[in-house]
Amino acid sequence: MSDFTPTEMMTIAASRALSSKDVCFVGIGAPSAACNVARLTHAPDITLIYESGTIGTAPEVLPLSIGDGELCETAVSTVAVPEMFRYWLQGGKISIGFLGAAQIDRFGNINTTVIGDYDHPKVRLPGGGGAPEIATSCGEIYITLKQATRSMVEKIDFFTSFGHGEGGDHRERLGIKTKGPTLLITDLAIWKPDPQTKEFTVVSLHEGVTREMVQETCGWTVKFAENLEQTPAPSALELSTLRDLQERTKRAHSGGKAA
C-alpha cells in the first residue's frame, strides 16, 4: 500500500458505496470525508444532510462539527432540528445513514458513549447525539471504522445505537422496519452482514491485507465470505479529490483560505 494509506483506502471504499440518488445523513469525521468525495467524483447529485438541519449541503472543506458555518452557507435549505428529525428522518425520507463508532460488535451495535463502566468510565465519549435515531430511521446504515481490538469488541461497553441487536430477526421483533447496518468499511476490509444471522462477514480485503491482519485487529472470531474479493485500489481521481479536500480543510482550519 505504498501509494495510498489504509485510511485513504477506507474513505474511498466508503465513498464508492454511495450514488447520486442517495439522500444521506452524514456523520462528522470519516463519514463526512467519504460522502464528500462521492459528491465530488461519481455522485454529484447526492443529497447530503447534517444533523444541524442543513439539507443539500456542498461544503468546500470538511466541517469541524455539525454546527460548522460551512454547512449552512452551502446548503440548499436549513431547517430546524426538530423538523429535521421528525419530518425528514422519522418520516423515512433518508436512504442512507453514515456513522462512525468508538466500539462496534459483530452485529453492528455501536457505542459512542463511554469506554468502561458508565459511572466510572476510562474514557467519556461525545455520546449518541442523533445516532440512535439515525440507526433505526434511515433506510440502511453504513459504518466506517479503523480496525483495532479495542474498537471491534465481543461486547460493547455501552449500547448507544442499535444495529442488529442479538442478530437474526431482532430488529423485526422490535418493530424496526428499516434494514439497519448493511455495510461496514474499515481500513483493512469491507464487511457485510450475513443474510440470516446478521453477523458481519468480510467480503473484500483491501490491497496488501491478509486474513491474519483482519483477525489480529478484531475482538471476535472473524468470518470470511466463500468468494472473498480484493477491493480495487483508489484511482488517481479518487486520491487527488480526497487529498485536495483534506488540504483545503487543513488550510481553512488553520486560518488560511480554503481555495
Could you say which DSSP state residue 231 is in? Answer: P
Establish whether 207 is a catalytic residue: no
Query: Backbone phi, then psi, for 48, in 5-degree steps?
Result: -100, 130
CA distance 105 to 199: 9
Catalytic residue among 8, 51, 70, 199: 51
CA distance 193 to 197: 8
Specify the 3-state DSSP secondary structure of 97. Answer: strand
Query: Backbone phi, then psi, for 147, in 5-degree steps?
Result: -70, 135
Helices then strands (H, E): number in the chain?
8, 14
End-to-end CA distance of the chain: 29
Burial 46-62 (b: 16+ CB within 10 A, else e): bbbbbbbbbbebbbebb
Query: Backbone phi, then psi, for 238, in 5-degree steps?
Result: -60, -45
Residue whose cell numbers read 439497519: 180
CA distance 57 to 241: 18
Residue 36 one-letter amino acid = N
* The three cell numbers locating residue 130: 442523533
Q: Which residues are catalytic?
A: 51
